[in-house]
Amino acid sequence: MDVAAKKTSFPRLDESLLSHLPPFSKLETRQIRTVLDQATSRRCEANHCVFSEGDVADRFYMLLDGYVRVIRVTSDGEQVTSLHIPAGQLLGIAKALGKDTYPATAMTASESILLSWPMRLWDNFVQDYDGFATETYKTVGARVGEMNNRIVELATQQVEQRVANAILRLINQTGRKVEDGIEIDFPITRQDLSELTATTLHTVSRLLSAWEKQGLVTSKRKRIKVCDPHALVVLSQG
């Protein structure tokens, strides 16, 4: 068995795992019980590939804990991080996009816990479970909206604005309060930031070093902390 992704042996998954999550929050306890009884649970270490771009989409997933990077591969084979998905969201939802294969690669950004179901159950979930389809398409819409915003940023903003906006998005999605600031709650490298903002590693390193000297952020050991969110917002607006 892959040591990076082990099937978790729970005596019985508790309904509270799903009852507060939007795709399942309208369901009765007995319905959530049915959903859980059909699920496979896995605990994955960081940097585990959940599924790969182009693979047959045979399962869909709910991220219960942790963070997942969505990675696209360019025509020349370069991997580019396009999104980060926080806990409480569905992923691998190719069926909602009308696709039979996964349109991107999903890689855990931290230790994560995932539930998954065979894709053959997708239509049953949509038909039988109130709110599942609505919330799924809200998720799709939000991700498309984020990608559109990224495209506008690339077309209209300077590099400094793009990097500031990327960091602000990440602390809004995943930030946790720590001493003297807000920290992105998973390991993220300067290379990751350069991919998110379509710039070079050298440029990201130069900006972060300058911002550290100004007391805006700290960056070490794959951890980024925002010490002055307001100043970063001002930078993001140019």
Q: How far apart are CA 136 and CA 50, in angstroms?
A: 19
Whether residue 95 is found in the same domain as residue 17: yes
Which domain covers residue 29, as residue numbers?
5-153
Model confidence pLDDT, tens digit, residues 207-238: 999 999 999 999 988 899 999 999 999 999 87
Q: In angstroms, how far is CA 89 from the centroid of its own chain?
A: 8
Whether residue 40 is found in the same domain as residue 98: yes
Of 153, 179, 200, which marks where a domain is finished? 153
Q: What is the mean pLDDT of the chain?
A: 90
Whether residue 33 is found in the same domain as residue 97: yes
The pTM (predicted TM-score) of the whole model is 0.82
Task: Identify the pLDDT of residue 235.
Answer: 93
Q: What is the CATH number of the domain that holds 167?
A: 1.10.10.10
Model confidence pLDDT, tens digit, residues 25-74: 999 999 999 999 999 999 999 999 999 999 999 999 999 999 999 998 87
**Tokens 């270490």 found at:** 45
Q: How many domains does the chain have?
A: 2
